[in-house]
Each structure stands twice: as C-alpha cells, then as structure tokens.
Amino acid sequence: MRRLRWGGTWLVTVFAVVGALVVGAVLIAVGDARTRDAATYFFSYPWDTFTEAGYAVRDAYAALLQGALFNPALSGTAALGPISETLVNATPLILTGLAVALAFRVGLFNIGAQGQIILGAVVAAYVGFAWDLPAGLHLLVALLGGVLGGTLWGGLVGWLKARTGAHEVITTIMLNYVAVNLLTFLLGLQGFQRPPYGQAISEAVAPSARLPLLLGPSLRVHLGLLVALAAAVGVWWLFTRSTLGFRLRAVGANPDAARTAGMAVGRLQVVAMAAAGGLAGLAGASQVLGVTGSVTGSVAGTVGFDAITVALLGRNNPYGVVAAGLLFGGMRAGSVQMQSATGVPVDLVGVLQALVVLFIAAPALVRAVFRLKPGGARAVGSELSAGWTR
C-alpha cells in the first residue's frame, strides 16, 4: 500500500518535470526568430515551422544539459566546469530545502529561510574576517556561527508561535524584512563594511575560514556540498531513527494526539524551527565561506524561496530534497550556457521551475494529461493547507 502510493507520487513527480519541459519547449519555439519566420509561410510549407521549432528546442535543451553536466569542447578539469557549477548551485538549495522540509514535517510552513540564510551568512562572515583562529578550527567555528545565527532567527519564530500563537507564516515573512534591512545596515557599518567604504560589501573572510575547494583551484565546487549531503543524511536519521524525530513527526501529523500523549508540542515546535533555521544558516555560511568569500546585499539571492519549491518537489523527504536541489541547481547552471549558445534567456529556467511545482501542486492535472491511474499522489496543496491551519 505504502509502496504503491510512493510509486504514484514518484510518477507524478517525473511527469511534472516532463510536462514542464514540454511547455518550456513551446515557449522556446515561440521565442525563436527562425521558427517565427517559417510560420509566416506556414500554410505553404507547414513542415518548415515544425522543423525549425524542433531545431530550436533541441539546441536549447542540449545547451542546457551541456551547461549543467559536461562540456566536451574543453579538455581536462575545465570540461567538468558545468557539473561543478551545478553542484555549487545545488549546495545552498539542498541545505535550505532541508530547512523548509524539516519544518514542514512538523507542520510548520517556514517561509523565513531567506532571513535565516542572511543571518547565517552574516555571523559566519563576521567570524571569518574578525576572529583570528588556526586553520581548520577557524572554519569550524565560522560554520557553527552560521548555524547559530540561523538557529536564533528560526528559533525566535518557533518561540513566538509556542508562546503567543503568532502564525509562523506571518512572523517568518516579517523577519525576512528585518534580516534584509539588518544586512543593509551592517553593510554600511565600519568594522563590517570593507574599506574604502565605497561599496556595500563586507570584509573578506580569512583564508583559514574558507571552505576548501574539492576539485582544484579552477573549479568552484567546495566542501559545502559534502556538508549538505551529510545534513540530508542527518535529517533522514532524525526523522526515521531518533526519538526526537518520532516526537517531531507526531506533532506534525497530529498535534492534538501528540499533546495527549504528553509531548510538549510548543517546545517541539521551537526545536523544529530552530533546527530548520540552523540548516538555512548553514546554507548562508556555506555560500560565504565557500563561494563569495564576503557578504553582499544579494548573498541569499532567491535561495530562501527557491528552497520552498525544492522541498515541495522533494516531497519533504531528505533524499527527494537532494534530488530536487541537484535538478534545480543544474537548470540554473545550464541556463547560462543556454543563453550564450542559443539566445534563449536564462529566465526560461525560472519558468520551468515554476511549472514543475505547479504540476506537482495539481496532481489531478498531471494524471489527466498523462492518463495515470487515480489515487496516487496527494496534492501538495494539502500539505500546504496543513501548514496554514496549524
């Protein structure tokens, strides 16, 4: 029974990705100049339109794939550039996706990952440039600082909910604004801002606190990737093997029964939000210590929100989150190559990402389009609404 249902979910997920690619193909064809030219004489030579559209779509998706995985035109480690970029993009998505998924499993809708990332990045960067510690230890302390920053930011949300009943959706959104403005303030503050104080950028993190690169100096993929994968295993262990995870899942699935069984529901919600914040904070730390080396206003990018789609696509399951993070990270990386090679704008990837989630949120639609048997996946919306009502 369980296996069947999982199978149904899995199929819907795969078909959602396929469906998104099909819709994306239509957009590519419509946006392609040669296809449009061919369409002007569509009624004389209709086949021309389709061939041109086919070429355009093939070239765009081939470039996307190449930009995400492997570049055969280059030799040596440079050929691995695309896959390295994919992994660099995927690292914060996986960590933050886990942050959203963990909270989700406990019935909390964490929209505040953005703010938690920023706090993690700020604390990690500060430890990284202001403190002077031996190599290795410095990195560890900086990473823990990032976790701490996110934990406090997330835990605050949990505490507000447990103590006052304030809904986490509202408080996380508000705290995102606070975090963004805090960051702007810090980037203009002497001691944090980098001299000569012309730009909104922080001091540079000391080399002793940088995450080592995994595949040599020419590729950006860094140790943060392994941290993210370890975090995924950790979250999996937490939920499937630990007593704390057992209680967290119970609170997520039925808070009333959890309370009746003597669990401290409020305290567990604080723990969940703090742990989620810690994971997002780790994502921020990993960006600063592994990629940028300093904090700017755009340190979090849109990762905090993309992570929600990663968690949804991954069905709040740690392995699913890793897979979804890799997929979206790859699309991100490939989109640059796609734009430079074929002129299809990088924004197409944003559209694809949105379509995937849209299809997953409406499993009935996917089933109708692909004629799957009913009774498989639950709508993601049902998980969302559970997050809303509690």
Binding site for other proteins (CB under 8 A): 1-2, 241-247, 249-250, 253-254, 256-264, 375
Q: Quick one: 243 or 389, whose CB is closer to other proteins?
A: 243
Residue closer to other proteins by CB (options 1, 73) is 1
Q: Which is nearer to other proteins, 371 or 373 (CB)?
A: 373
Q: Which is nearer to other proteins, 264 or 341 (CB)?
A: 264
* Token pair in block for residue 80: 């691995």
- Range 33-71 burial, b when 16+ CB lie within 10 A, else e: eebeebbeeeeeeeebbeebbeebbebbbebbbbbbeee
Distance CA 352, CA 17 (A): 8
Q: Which of 129, 60, 93, 111 is nearest to 283 (CA)?
A: 93
* CB closer to other proteins, 210 vs 249: 249
CB of 2 to other proteins, least distance (A): 8
The secondary structure of 83-114 as a DSSP string is HHHHHHHHHHHHHHHHHHHHHHHTT----THH
Provide, rounded to whole angstroms, the least separation between the CB of residue 50 and other proteins.
43
Q: How many CA atoms lie within 13 A of 293 on its CB side?
A: 8
Q: Smallest distance, Å, CB 165 to other proteins?
A: 12
Helices 318-342 and 303-313 meet at what angle, rounded to 10?
Answer: 120
Taking the C-alpha atoms of 364, 368, 371 and 377 in order, what is their torsion angle to the nearest 10 degrees?
A: -10
CB of 317 to other proteins, least distance (A): 14
Beta carbon of residue 260, minimum distance to other proteins (angstroms, whole number): 4
* Residue pointed to by tokens 């930009």: 67
Nearest-approach distance from CB 367 to other proteins, in angstroms = 16
Tokens standing for residue 248: 């967290």
Categorise residue 293: left if φ over 0, alpha if ψ from -120 to 50, beta otherwise.
left
Shortest separation between residue 258's beta carbon and other proteins, angstroms? 7
Nearest-angstrom CA–CA distance, 266 and 268 = 5
Toward other proteins, which CB reaches closer, 213 or 263? 263
The amino acid present at 112, given as its one-letter code, is G
Residue 44 or 243 having the CB closest to other proteins: 243
Place of tokens 């403190």: 131
Q: Which is nearer to other proteins, 237 or 319 (CB)?
A: 237
Instruction: Return d(Cα 338, Cα 111) in angstroms, integer.
Output: 31
From the list 321, 307, 388, the residue with the least C-alpha distance to 13 is 321
The minimum distance between CB 292 and other proteins, in angstroms, equals 35
Shortest distance in whole angstroms from residue 373 CB to other proteins: 11
Between residues 106 and 156, which has the closer beta carbon with respect to other proteins? Answer: 106
Contact call for residues 380 and 312 (beta carbons, < 8 A) = yes
Of residues 196 and 262, the one with the C-beta less far from other proteins: 262
Q: How far is the CB of 310 from other proteins (least distance, A)?
A: 23
In angstroms, the CA 336 to CA 345 distance is 8
Q: Centre a 10 Å sphere on the Cβ of residue 257 and count the other Cβ atoms it contains.
A: 11
